[in-house]
Amino acid sequence: MKPMKTACFPLFVLATATATAQSPTFAAPVRLMAGDKFLGENRLFPSPVYHDLDGDGLFDVVVGDLPGRLTVARRLPGDGPPKFAAETKVLAANGAQVDLKNW
Amino acid sequence: MSPQFVDFDADGRLDIVAGIFDGSPHLVRGSAAGWQPPEQILDRDGARIVFNQFWNFDTKKWDSTHRCDGPGQTGEGHLTSAIAMDWDGDGDLDLLLGDHSSGRVYRRTNEGTPQQPAFSTRNEPVLAAGKPIDVPGTVATLRLVDWNGDGLLDLAAGSMGDAYSNGEGGGVYVYLNTGTKQAPVFAAPITLVERSRKGGTEPLRPDSGLYMDFGDHDGDGDLDLVVGGYSHWTPKPIELTAAQTQRVAALRAELAVAEKGSAAIMEAIDDATKGLAEAAADKKREELSAARLDELVAFGKKRQALQNELDPLVPGPKRASFVWLYENLGSAAKPAAVR
């Protein structure tokens, strides 16, 4: 598995595909698991983003939602298809969950 | 709310940018100590960046404005998604903003510096194929991706669709940048995930509220899609015995009574507030609702219990959120890259 990389400036993570991939064929979608639960299950409008949150060189999946809260499913080390730990809260500097507090 | 990890203020640390349902873009700054409290991203004059609808934190009500209208703005716009992008190649980050109500995408230009952004005050429509972008199913989220590997950022959008009933669902689209790094020109969209027609008997895909991101999930060198969203399905009906058929009829009759009971309370409250000024009506409604709360809760519990018994016998429509992987099977291997 190649880890996602981050750059210095501007710091948004991107990936490239080949020109032949403009209209790709996707496999039938499958639900991702985080631990023994479906990732994002019962969240209000879950919005996933790939990001290596803990800097271990493996992409994690950070999930936002309508109320504005962030969780992360950390990717577990190992070969084969990526596996993810159970979702945990993304914590802010003050120890509370990162929460954009919708309104 | 779909987070974007980006160095918004050019301090060498990743921040989080996100549009949220209050109608404005927000920022969570990264620091040596960790994520800082969220703040609104304001324009150059210190005013909120909005389309039309927004949550007014002073009045604690939904509000509307035309203060920031740009050419062709619909008048009903509701900003719920935001990404930072160096639109014009000048080294600082501008904002692209998605409209949850109409499918339009707008831009705010950074007239300041990378370290001290100063965003323009009007919403400028982003075009594709010469017309304002109109994401089919309205915008759920925006992402940046070099989809065709030409070194230019393309714009991707996931769409909302009908997130609550049987209407057409959402899809995923990419608008290729056929211009330059300094002057993007977006083409007509390529459909990556068709809008859902729904109608399944089990969760088969994200049907509505499609929030996606791109990455090489399986390490085979091409871009896969991870997509959050709601699945809508109705399980296959079971064959009922005579006794079960009889029980279903009884449950439905009881359910109708319970629904009629709670509806009558709400109707009585509405009747009692008719003719009152808005503030007085709100106050009266609050008082009457509180006075009859126990009855409403009892009806609610009754209905839930009946529905719980009815559901295995006559499965009704289901709706649940998940995060899905769309594995890309179609492209040649090429390592993921970063700009």
Q: Does A86 touch chain B (CB under 8 A)?
A: no
Q: What is the pLDDT of residue B335?
A: 36
- Residue A103 pLDDT > 80, yes or no? no
Residue of A nearest to B209 (CA): A45
Q: Please, which pLDDT band fits residue A8 given cuts at 50, 70 and 90?
A: very low
Mean pLDDT computed over A68-95: 96
Which residues, 6+ apart, have CB-to-CB distance to B308 below 8 Å?
none
* Per-residue pLDDT at B62: 94
B150 vs A2, residue with greater confidence: B150
Phi, psi (5° rounding) for residue B121? -100, -5
Would you call B222 helix, strand, or coil by DSSP? coil
pLDDT attached to residue A24: 76
Within 7-66 of A, beta carbons closer than 8 Å to B belong to: 7-32, 38-51, 59, 61-66
Strand B25-28 vs strand B172-175: parallel, antiparallel, or unpaired?
unpaired
pTM for the full model?
0.86
The per-residue pLDDT string of chain B (339 residues; one tens digit each, 9 = 90 and over) reads: 889 999 999 999 999 999 999 999 999 999 999 999 999 999 999 999 999 999 999 999 999 999 999 887 778 899 999 999 999 999 999 999 999 999 999 999 999 999 999 999 999 999 999 999 999 999 999 999 999 999 999 999 999 999 999 999 999 999 999 999 999 999 999 999 999 999 899 999 999 999 999 999 999 999 999 999 999 999 998 999 999 999 999 999 999 999 999 999 999 999 999 989 988 998 999 999 999 999 999 999 999 999 999 999 999 899 999 999 999 997 543 433 332
| Under 8 Å between Cβ of B226 and B213 | yes
* Contact assignment for A24 to B150 by CB distance below 8 Å: no
Residues A30-53: pLDDT tens digits? 999 999 999 999 999 999 999 999
Contact B337 A94 (CB under 8 A): no
CB contact (8 A) between residue A49 and residue B4: yes
Q: Tell me if chain A has a CB within 8 Å of the CB of B334.
A: yes
Per-residue model confidence (pLDDT) at position B278: 86
Per DSSP, the residues of B29-48 read -EETTEEPPPEEPBBTTSPB
Long-range CB pairs of B90-95 (<8 Å, 24+ gap) are: B90/B182, B92/B10, B92/B117, B93/A10, B93/B6, B93/B8, B93/B10, B93/B117, B94/B119, B95/B25, B95/B41, B95/B49, B95/B119
Q: Give the count of Cβ contacts less than 8 A between chain A and B.
A: 261
Question: What is the complex's ipTM, to 2 decimals?
Answer: 0.86
Which of B8, B60, B79, B226 to mutate: most A Cβ within 10 Å? B226
Model pLDDT, residue A16 = 44
- Comparison of pLDDT for B263 and A101, the residue scoring more: B263
- pLDDT of A36 reads 97
Interface test with B, best of A100, A101, A103 (most B CBs within 10 A): A100
Point out the residue among B1, B223, B323 whose CB comes nearest to the CB of A100.
B1
Look up residue B85 and give its two tokens.
């992008």
Residue written as tokens 């999946």? A61
Residue A22: per-residue pLDDT: 61
